[in-house]
Amino acid sequence: MIFRGRDIGREVVMHAMFLTCLLLAPPDAIPAGKSTIEARFDDVTLKLHLYKPQRFRDGPMLMVFHGVLRNGAEYRDHAVKMGDRFEALIVAPEFDEKTFPKPRYQFGGIVRDGKAVPPQERTGEYVNRIAREIRTREGRKTMSYALIGHSGGGQFLGRLAPFVQTEAERIVISNPSSYTRPTVAAEFPYGFGGLPPELQTEATFKAYLAQPVTIYVGSLDIVRDEYFDDSEKADLQGRSRFERGKNAFHFAKQLAEEKGWPFHWKLVIAEGIEHDHEKMFNNEACAKALGWDRK
């Protein structure tokens, strides 16, 4: 009877501990492996394609942004190796073309009818909302994260960086067709020309150059394909995506040096890689682009 009492007592304690764990665990924690959830943000629902490595414990989040094909699930699939490599939770949002046409996605939803869109309504703000959603589900309010976007997704992040503040460790702009240079001499989206005056201030330029931006380009991304912006204004930035990326970095660096402003950008080149997001993701240089080369 004494031993039985001890067994019952032990069962009571274990049951109480189990209930405590249930109460403390996040109600919607993301399962290991691939999954897709729908997150509601006001009147917009976004599909979030996810991958959590089996070894994931307290690692970072990596948001991956698709290009013009709006293929979020494919980008998630092609980011699985990055997830395993960095033990990171992959989050690939899908911005459908009907809700987020080119002015709202690639060009960031910065202006509407000639007026500056309020900060909370800019498309880049979804990054902050997604971060809060995933942090809540994982029960980690300070979960660190980085952003990487390729081609059209690189354009999106390239227009997020000047106009939206996030908590991202790095904003990796990979092989876009064009960049928003910190100058009023070029019209938006290639520069700040034509934007409302409140978006053209030196304070805006200074904050832009202080962002943790990485320009990440493939050395063989030199083909002017069907998705390449071959307009006259874009060609002023260079004749290829590779050339435009290098030129954008050096333009920004020179301005920061002239003004004596903080400059937190990096230029990282993936040698021998063409316009291919999967190869860019899996290239060894990607770790340096994300600032995770020591992980």
Residue 185 located in a structural domain: yes
Residue 39 has pLDDT above 70, yes or no: yes
Residue 8 located in a structural domain: no
Per the structure, how many domains does the chain have? 1
Residue 6 located in a structural domain: no
Residue 14 located in a structural domain: no
Residue 193 located in a structural domain: yes
Nearest CA among 249, 242, 244, 250 for reference residue 272: 242
User: What is the pTM (predicted TM-score) of this model?
Assistant: 0.90
Residue 235 located in a structural domain: yes
Question: pLDDT digit string (tens) for 154-202?
Answer: 999 999 999 999 999 999 999 999 999 999 999 999 999 999 999 999 9
Distance separating alpha carbons of residues 180 and 107, to the nearest angstrom: 9
pLDDT for 11: 54
Query: Phi and psi at residue 176, in whole multiples of 5°?
Result: -80, 165
Residue 273 located in a structural domain: yes
Residue 285 located in a structural domain: yes
Question: pLDDT digit string (tens) for 89-141?
Answer: 999 999 999 999 999 999 999 999 999 999 999 999 999 999 999 999 999 99
Question: pLDDT digit string (tens) for 43-93?
Answer: 999 999 999 999 999 999 999 999 999 999 999 999 999 999 999 999 999
Distance separating alpha carbons of residues 148 and 154, to the nearest angstrom: 7
CATH of the domain at 75: 3.40.50.1820
Question: pLDDT digit string (tens) for 175-186?
Answer: 999 999 999 999
Domain, as residue range, for 105:
30-290
